[in-house]
Structures are given as C-alpha cells and as structure tokens.
Amino acid sequence: MSALPVVSDVLAGRVCALPVPATDATQTSLLTTVLRAGEPIDDAVAVVLSTSGTTGAPKGALLSAAALTASAGATHDRLGGRGRWLLALPAYHVAGFQVLVRSLIAGVDPVAVRPGFEPAELVSAVATLGGGRRYVSLVAAQLDKALRDPAAADALADVDAVLIGGGPMPVSLSEKASAAGVPVVRTYGMSETAGGCVYDGVPLAGVSVTVSETGRISLGGPTVALGYRNPVTPDPFAETGWFRTDDVGMIDDAGVLRVLGRADDGISTGGLTVLPDLVEAAMHTHPAVAECAVFGVADERLGQRVVAAVVLEPAATLTLEDIRRHVAGRLAPTAAPRELHIVETLPRHGIGKVDRRALARTYGAGPGSSTA
C-alpha cells in the first residue's frame, strides 16, 4: 500500500505529512492552501490532519508521533491485542489514517476496500484478512449498508471488532448489528484526539474525560493534539494536554460517557433548546425511518423550528403527524419536528457525517412538504 511508507516516515519523525484526497483536486487545493502546506511548522508535529469542517474551514489538528502511537496502542489494548485491519475509510481522515498507524505498529499490512464500499467487496476483503485478530473501522452508514446484505453481515460477524465512529449510531442500527452477531464498538473522538479515544462510553487507557456544569465535554491525555494549524479563539487547547470539544454530554453513575450532541447544533425553539441528535435517535425507532436528519430553520414565531429530513425504508410511508406523535411520545413535545421532508438521500461530508447545514440551506427558505 503506497501510503504505508509515508506513515512510517511520519512515525519515525522523518517527515511532517498533510494527508489529502488523491481523487479530489478541489479539496486537495483547499487543504494545501488553508493548512499552508510547505510552510514552516513545529518539529514536534508529525502530521496535520484536517478537521471535519463541520463549523467552517478545516483548522488542521497538529498531531505528534507520540499521540498517534499512544492512540494505536490504547486501541489494541482495549480490543484484545494487535491484529490485521481492513481499511474502508479514507486515509486522509483520522479514522483511516489511524488504521494505517495501527497496521504499522502491528507489523501487518491492512486490506483495503475501494471507495464506494460495495458489500461484495467487503466480503472478499474480510476473507483475505487471514487468521489472528481481525478488525474493521467503519461509519454508521457503511454498517447499515453492510447489514442489508446477508453475506456482508456474516463477514462482519466473523471479525473481532467493528469500530463505528464519525457520529452517533442509531439504537435501531445497534440492535440490528447485535442481532446479526456483529461485534460493534462505538467510538468517540476526533482529529484533535488522534481519533477515537472513548470506546462504548469508556475512555481508553490514559484518557481522561470531564463534563462541565453546562455539559461541555473535555478530553485529556497523551492522544491530544498540540493545537491547530490555524488557531482559534477561544483556544480549546488552552489547558495543556486537554481539548475542550464542541460536544455536550453526561457521565452516568457507572462512569459511562453519553454524548448528547454538538452544542452549536442546538435548535432554539420557543425559548427552549432542542438537540438534533436526541430527536434523530427517537425518530430512528420508527419502523418507516431508514435514515434521518434533524435541523433548525428560521421561524418568525419560534425563533427556529425543528425540521426533519427522512429517507424511508422500502415501501414505507410516513406523515408529519406520524413522526410528531412518535417523537412526542419519547421526548418533550417541543422536540417533535414541525416540518417533514421525504428525501432519497441525505447530504454528507467528510467520511459520512450528515451535513445539517446543507439541509438548512436547502429548506430554510420556507415551509416544506409537510408543516405543522
């Protein structure tokens, strides 16, 4: 695999890399310009990994070789030892890059799946992983696609762990995976923490998690980045060894972290704040909903109104009244969508995160297909 020698040089401190998508000239140009490729950088930085861009231009997480290897080591410790990895995510994203790092540390080349993630190719790739411990890292949309193909579901059930990151995983999808015998591990982390650092709500070895009185999550430990290529104010790295995320959550009595959503995604409606992730989780329990996204648009009376876009299960139907009643039975009535759009697909960015801002731009001009 052509990227492995570069990653080896990164870990050895011989180069500082800026991974970019080889097949997207526009994105490559953006990243090399915004993150200032070729300009001087601190010697401690091994790689500059693009952030997801959820809130604007990529800031570029500055990761040391020590952070990368600490993350890989803690991952293998949690999963039960080193193994062979299947690469099904872009290597320019932290999740894919870390598959390469873990593979180098394990001393075994990964098996790559081509972009597009076809179930048949997944089956073939898993079969070539061979003996020993076998691991896969995916996003929820890929897992959902695989579970709809019996052969792909069986293939995933045959590996030792399937890491799911890149955003929240619907309970309904988790239940489908469990029923299929797929050993899912839900991960939480980001470029700024060298990838997932909390697995199934429990921090990896060496990682610390705090939640402020306002619910803001902070992550600390050896996997935290040195800062941003393009610093921001206030500085989320102000406390050495810690990163203050834009996520809100809670830690339950068992010490398990529950991520509730992004603070800046909150919908201010009628004087209350609604977190889209919670509404989406409730909607995913409706049998007609295959995929969904919840977002806010301007409303003269409420400030913002809660809007939902839904991809239906085959042959299913859904009305606004149906989904409002369903959500209101699980959350506060304020959280129930006031507008519903049935769509063929949801817009995504990065490695598969739903682009709520794109949806808000599309449907923010006025009432949609169904309103209340």
Full set of structural domains in the chain with CATH: 3-259 (3.40.50.12780), 266-371 (3.30.300.30)
* pLDDT for 143: 95
Query: Is residue 31 pLDDT above 60, yes or no?
Result: yes
What is the per-residue pLDDT across 221-231, written as a single tens digit (0 to 9) for each?
Answer: 999 999 999 99
Tell me what the mean pLDDT of segment 157-169 comes to. 92
CA 314/CA 85 separation, integer angstroms: 33
Q: Other C-beta atoms within 10 Å of 19: how many?
A: 22
Cβ-contact 189, 219 below 8 angstroms: yes
Which pLDDT band, with edges at 50, 70 and 90, does 53 fall under?
A: low
Which pLDDT band, with edges at 50, 70 and 90, does 242 fall under?
A: very high
Tell me what the mean pLDDT of segment 36-62 comes to. 86
- CA 240 to each of CA 220, 221, 226: distance values in angstroms, whole numbers, following the listed order: 9, 9, 8
Tell me what the mean pLDDT of segment 67-93 comes to. 97
Query: Is residue 1 pLDDT above 70, yes or no?
Result: no
Tell me what the mean pLDDT of segment 258-280 comes to. 90
| Most confident option among 70-79, 106-115, 244-253, 353-362 | 70-79
Query: Is residue 271 pLDDT above 90, yes or no?
Result: no
For 142, the 3-state DSSP assignment is helix
Which pLDDT band, with edges at 50, 70 and 90, does 56 fall under?
A: low
User: Which residues on adjacent β-strands are paired with residue 161?
Assistant: 135
pLDDT: is 287 or 116 the higher one? Answer: 287
Which pLDDT band, with edges at 50, 70 and 90, does 263 fall under?
A: confident
Cβ-contact 173, 140 below 8 angstroms: yes
* pLDDT for 370: 59
CA 288/CA 125 separation, integer angstroms: 32
Contacts of 140 (CB under 8 A, 6+ apart): 164, 166, 167, 168, 169, 170, 173, 352
Computed over every residue of the chain, the mean pLDDT equals 92
Query: Is residue 350 pLDDT above 80, yes or no?
Result: no
Any idea of the CA torsion for 211, 283, 184, 155, to the nearest 10 degrees?
-160
Cβ-contact 357, 309 below 8 angstroms: no
Tell me what the mean pLDDT of segment 61-84 comes to. 98
* pLDDT for 347: 94
What is the per-residue pLDDT across 297-334, written as a single tens digit (0 to 9) for each?
Answer: 998 888 999 999 999 999 999 999 999 999 999 998 99
User: Which residues on adjacent β-strands are paired with residue 57?
Assistant: none
* pLDDT for 243: 98
Tell me what the mean pLDDT of segment 120-124 comes to. 96
Query: Is residue 138 pLDDT above 70, yes or no?
Result: yes
Q: Tokens 């759009």 belong to which residue? A: 341
